[in-house]
Amino acid sequence: MPCRFERWWLGIVVGLGIVFAAGGVVAQENAGDRYEIRADHDPNGIGKFYMGREIAHVMGHLGADWLDRPEREEEERPGKLVKILKLDEGLEVADIGAGTGYMSFRMAKAVGPEGRVFAVDIQPEMLDIIRERAQKRKITNVEPVLGTATDPNLPESSVDLILMVDVYHEFEFPYEMTSAMVKALRPGGRIVFVEYRLEDPNVPIKLVHKMTEKQVLLEMKPHPLRWVGTSSLLPRQHVIFFEKNREESPQPPKAP
C-alpha cells in the first residue's frame, strides 16, 4: 500500500518539459556530457541523470500543505536538526528550497535578530507564503529570495551556512546549482545536505527522492568542498556536512 507521501505526489508533480530521445540516451543540451536523458527511467523521476542518479520531479506549490504536515515533527525532528547545525547568533544562513519556510523560521530564531535567513525558492507562490507568515509572526530576519534552476541568486561570499532539506535530489542542474551555492558561501562556510537515506529500505519514500551518503560525496567531488562529517541522529535522514575550502593566505615575498 503506498504511503501518504507517494499518494500526494500523484497530484503535485510539476513536469519539467524534458524531451526524451527515442532509443535511449542523449547528452543534455548546453551541458556537454555532464547529464544524460534516458527514455527508460523511473516514472517518479524526470529521466535526466547526473553521475548515475536520476533527478526527481519537483514538488509544486500545490504541495505546500504536505510540507507543514503535523507528522513531520516526528518523522524529521526539525528541532533536533537545528541543534545539529549548531547555529550561532548573528550568522547569515540560506535555506535553499525553503518551500513554506518550515526550516527558515526555525533557523531565524536560532541566529537571532542580528542574524539573517535567506529563504530561497524557485516558486514565487512559496515565497508569498513565507512573506505572509513572516508578517503574521512579526519575524523580520527572514528574507525571501527568488532563485532559478541554476542559481540561488545570493551575493558572492555572503552566507555562513547553506541548508537543503529534502531538496538537492530535485535540482534540475545539480552541478551548476552547487557551483553557484559554493560561490555564495564565505570561505570556511558550511553546506549541509539533509536527504532521506537510500541505504535504509524501511524509509517510506520513493527511491528517486532518497540519496545515499556515497552518492552525495561523489557529486560534491568536482567542487571546492571538504566533507567534514555525517550525522545519523535523525530518524530517516542523513545530515551531511561540507566546508568550503579556505583561500590560502598570500605568502610574503621572499627576501632577495
Backbone conformation region of residue 82, classed left if phi is above 0, alpha if psi is from -120 to 50, else beta: alpha
State yes or no: pLDDT of 252 exceeds 90: no
State yes or no: pLDDT of 210 exceeds 50: yes
State yes or no: pLDDT of 19 exceeds 90: no
pLDDT at 50: 98
State yes or no: pLDDT of 36 exceeds 90: yes
State yes or no: pLDDT of 17 exceeds 70: no
∠ Cα 9 15 19 (to 5°)? 135
Average pLDDT over residues 81-108: 97
Grid cell digits, residue 1: 500500500
pLDDT digits (tens, 9 = 90+) for 59-75: 766 566 767 788 989 99
- Parse the chain into domains and list their residue ranges: 4-59, 61-244
**What pTM was estimated for this model as a whole?**
0.84
pLDDT at 63: 63
pLDDT at 66: 63
- Please state, rounded to an integer, the average pLDDT across all residues of the chain: 86
Average pLDDT over residues 90-100: 97
Q: CATH classification of 61-244, choosing from 3.40.50.150, 3.20.20.150, 2.60.40.2550, 3.40.50.300?
A: 3.40.50.150
